[in-house]
Amino acid sequence: MVEPAPATTTRAAILLVDDDMENLGILGSLLNQDYDIYIAPSGERALQIAASVPKPDLILLDVMMPGMDGYEVLARLRGNPATSDIPVIFVTGLDAIEDEERGLEYGAMDYIAKPYRPPIILARVKTQLELKRARDWLRSQNTYLEAEIARRMQDILIIQDVTINALAELAETRDQETGHHIHRTQAYVRILALSLREHPRFSGFLTDSAIELLAKSAPLHDIGKVGIPDHILFKADKLTAEEWAIMKTHPRLGADAIKRALINADRSVDFLNMAMDIAQCHHEKWDGTGYLEGLKGDEIPIPGRLMALADVFDALISRRVYKEPLPFDQARAIIVGERGRHFDPDIVDVFLGGFDEFVRVARKYGANGASHE
C-alpha cells in the first residue's frame, strides 16, 4: 500500500480511508492485486490525496472516524470541483437503513456494511470503476463533439459571411460609383444600433445578437439592384419618371430574392429575415412619404429605419455622376433637417452623438476617394 506517486498508471487507483489500520490492511490486501492502492488514516489526509495528481478513480470511505467523519469528508469532496466527480463507496459498521439512506443522500455511489465480504466488495468496486470509465468516456466524447460542433458552426458562419459579402459585392458592381458603400453603411448601422441598445424604444429589439445580425445583413440592402437594367442603373443623366419608377423597384426585387431563399431553406433564418426587412424598407420615410409601401413611423421595421439614415448619409458624402460629394458638416445638417420627416427622430439624435465615428468610418473607407476636410 502506497501513497500517490507522481507518475501516472494504467491501473485504476483506489483510495482507502479509515482510522483503523487493520481495516486498511484487510481492504488493501483484497484489492492491491488488481488496483493501485492509496491509504489515508484520516479525513484531512483523504482530502489531500483526493486532490493530488493523479487523482484516485474510486474512494472507499469509512463513516465513523474521529474528528472529520465520512459525511463531512464526502461533503468537502463534492464541494471541490477538483474532486467532485470521484465516486465514493461508504464502508461502515453502521447497518441501519437510515444510515445507508443518509450516505446515499450525501452523494455516495454505494454503501458496504462491515464485516467485509470479499466477493461483494470486489463486485461493487468493479461496478463503480466500470461506471466511472463509462462516464469519463462519455465526457470525453461530449467534449470532442462540442468542439467539433463549435468548429463546424464557425465554418458555417465564415461561409455565410463570405456568401453575404460576395452577393453584396455583386450588387455593388452594378453601381460602380459607390466604392466601399457596403462597408461604410454596415459600420454606420452598427454604430447606430450600439448607441440605441439601451434606449427604451429600441432595447427590446436591439439585443447583442440582433445587432450582430443587423451588421451581417446590412450589406444586402441593395441586392435588388442586380435586377435593374443597365441603361437605367448606369445612366449619367437624370432619370425619366418611367425610369425612376423602375429604379424604385430594387427594394422589392431584393426582398423577393431573399424571401425565395427563405422558402428554399424551408425554415426561418434570422439574418435573412432581417436582411429582407432592410432590403424592402430602407427607402421608407418616417413621415410616410417613402417607398415601397409608404410605411410611417413605427410601422417601418427598425432595421429599415437604421439603414435609411446610414444609406442617405453615405450617398450625401459620396461622388455620383450627377453630383460631387458633400462635406461632412453639410451632410450632417441635411440629416438633422430631415429629423421627424425622413428619419426617426431618436435615430437622428444618436447619429449626432456618434457623428465623429461616422466621419472616421467614412475616411477609413475612402468615401469614394474624396476629401472631406
Please name which of 42, 55, 44, 45 lies closest in space to residue 14, comparing C-alpha atoms: 55
Residue 343: strand, helix, or coil: strand
Domains (range + CATH), the chain: 13-144 (3.40.50.2300), 174-369 (1.10.3210.10)
pLDDT for the residue 345: 98
129/13 Cα distance (integer angstroms):
10
Number of CB atoms found within 10 A of residue 154's CB: 10
Q: What is the DSSP secondary structure assignment for residue 292, as one 8-state letter?
A: S
Number of H helices, E strands in the chain: 15, 5
Query: What is the pTM (predicted TM-score) of this model?
Result: 0.61
252/248 Cα distance (integer angstroms):
8
DSSP for 87-100, written as a single string: -EEEEES---HHHH
Q: In percent, how much of the chain has pLDDT > 70?
A: 89
Q: What tens-digit pLDDT sequence spans the chain (373 residues)? A: 444 444 444 799 999 999 999 999 999 999 999 999 999 999 999 999 999 989 999 999 998 899 899 999 999 999 999 999 999 999 887 665 666 677 777 788 888 888 889 999 999 999 999 999 998 888 888 888 888 888 888 877 777 676 776 666 666 666 555 558 888 999 999 999 999 999 999 999 999 999 999 998 898 999 898 899 988 988 888 899 999 999 999 999 999 988 988 888 777 888 889 999 999 999 999 999 999 999 999 999 999 999 999 999 999 999 877 788 999 999 999 999 999 999 999 999 999 999 999 999 999 988 744 444 4
**1-28 confidence digits (pLDDT tens):** 444 444 444 799 999 999 999 999 999 9
Burial profile 287-296: b = 16 or more Cβ within 10 angstroms, e = fewer: eeebeeeebe
Residue 81: strand, helix, or coil: coil
Q: At what angle do helices 208-217 and 181-196 cross, to 10 degrees?
A: 160
Residue 316: strand, helix, or coil: helix
